[in-house]
């Protein structure tokens, strides 16, 4: 009920001022609308102090019909260039920055959307505009809180079950290879596309267990030093139980994140399956190629036994690297 009322209010804005709109979503029919783009213009809205994006004089909206507006004009410029570069063959996977920002705006608005301008003009200063207050609608606010709490919970679960606490304890590694074949394996290189040079000529130094142990310990120690805590590692496959003071610190760390930080952190953990590596990545201790490699040591290790299946792996790897670099960039630009 409220959603209909909200959308009606949004669209009445455009109708009143003869403004049309174009939405960014994954629907193929909708994406075809971007094919004949002639001009994309960035306009500063005096009312909101944010930059908005106009495509052939049509204001750009998100998938959930929120205005595509940002305080960082440089980020809007990147979105503009990304859309122009792909306009003839629009694919959301080829526009990772636009896709991430679209989802970020929808998430933040779901949580924070308290006021909408009732009489809104994109070209002029709307001093004295009446406000449409939706704070009283518990259904809308509860949905935002539910999404936010869900992300918080998932982030904390990623800490509790962080892959960095586990190592493959089989000294000869998971694939039961003998020492002789392991020696041959070290000499082998895999030739990959340039876009995947994060693992090109990458050799496991000795075996999977030792590689994991070295890398995981290195970054656990770094995280412990940053937060002055002591983390417990997993004993075989049992989930390690962290000390109460550690749990409190991590929960406080998550609670202190703003809405944008929660969203970006959550999205990164979906790709990396690691709270600690996500934290170090977003805080610029590790670059996006290295963090993807560190979180996929066993996956990469299999290349040296089974080879690299291009049709299966290349899309997954390339898209994930693209999304990670985009999330890192957005996180830096909105701070």
95-154 pLDDT, tens digit each: 999 999 999 999 999 866 544 444 344 443 333 333 334 444 455 556 667 888 999 999
Number of residues in the chain? 335
DSSP-derived pairing of the beta strands 58-61 and 50-55: antiparallel
DSSP type of residue 176: T
| Closest among 325, 330, 335 to 287, alpha carbons compared | 325
Residue with tokens 């004993």: 235
**Rounded to whole angstroms, how far apart are CA atoms 53 and 178?**
59
What domains lie within the chain, and their CATH numbers?
2-136 (no CATH), 147-333 (1.10.3580.10)
Q: What is the pLDDT of residue 69?
A: 95
Q: What is the pLDDT of residue 191?
A: 54
> CB atoms < 10 A from the CB of 162, how many?
25
Residue numbers in the chain where pLDDT is lower than 50: 2, 5-6, 8-9, 11-18, 114-137, 171-188, 201
Contact of 282 with 265, CB cutoff 8 Å: yes
C-alpha neighbours within 13 Å on the C-beta side of residue 166: 17
Residue with tokens 């403004």: 19
């Amino acid at each position: 009920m409220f959603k209909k009322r909200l959308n009606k209010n949004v669209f009445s804005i455009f109708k009143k001022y003869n403004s049309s709109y174009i939405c960014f979503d994954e629907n193929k029919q909708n994406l075809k609308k971007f094919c004949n783009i002639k001009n994309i213009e960035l306009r500063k809205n005096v009312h909101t102090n944010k930059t908005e994006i106009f495509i052939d004089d049509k204001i750009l909206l998100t998938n959930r019909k929120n205005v595509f507006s940002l305080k960082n004009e440089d980020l809007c410029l990147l979105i503009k260039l990304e859309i122009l570069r792909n306009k003839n063959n629009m694919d959301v996977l080829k526009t990772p920055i636009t896709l991430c920002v679209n989802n970020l705006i929808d998430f933040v608005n779901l949580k924070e959307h308290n006021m909408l301008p009732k009489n809104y003009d994109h070209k002029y200063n709307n001093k004295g505009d009446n406000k449409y207050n939706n704070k009283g609608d518990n259904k809308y606010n509860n949905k935002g809180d539910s999404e936010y709490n869900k992300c918080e919970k998932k982030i904390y679960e990623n800490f509790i079950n962080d892959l960095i606490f586990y190592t493959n304890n089989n000294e000869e590694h998971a694939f039961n290879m003998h020492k002789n074949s392991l020696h041959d394996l070290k000499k082998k290189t895999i030739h990959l596309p340039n876009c995947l040079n994060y693992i090109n000529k990458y050799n496991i130094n000795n075996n999977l267990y030792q590689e994991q142990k070295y890398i995981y310990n290195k970054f656990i120690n770094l995280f412990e030093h940053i937060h002055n805590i002591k983390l417990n590692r997993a004993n075989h496959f049992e989930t390690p139980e962290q000390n109460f003071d550690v749990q409190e610190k991590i929960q406080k760390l998550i609670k202190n994140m703003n809405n944008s930080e929660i969203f970006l952190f959550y999205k990164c953990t979906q790709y990396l399956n690691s709270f600690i590596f996500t934290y170090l990545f977003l805080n610029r201790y590790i670059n996006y190629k290295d963090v993807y490699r560190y979180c996929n040591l066993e996956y990469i290790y299999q290349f040296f036994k089974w080879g690299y299946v291009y049709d299966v792996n290349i899309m997954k790897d390339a898209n994930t690297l693209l999304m990670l670099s985009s999330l890192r960039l957005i996180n830096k630009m909105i701070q």
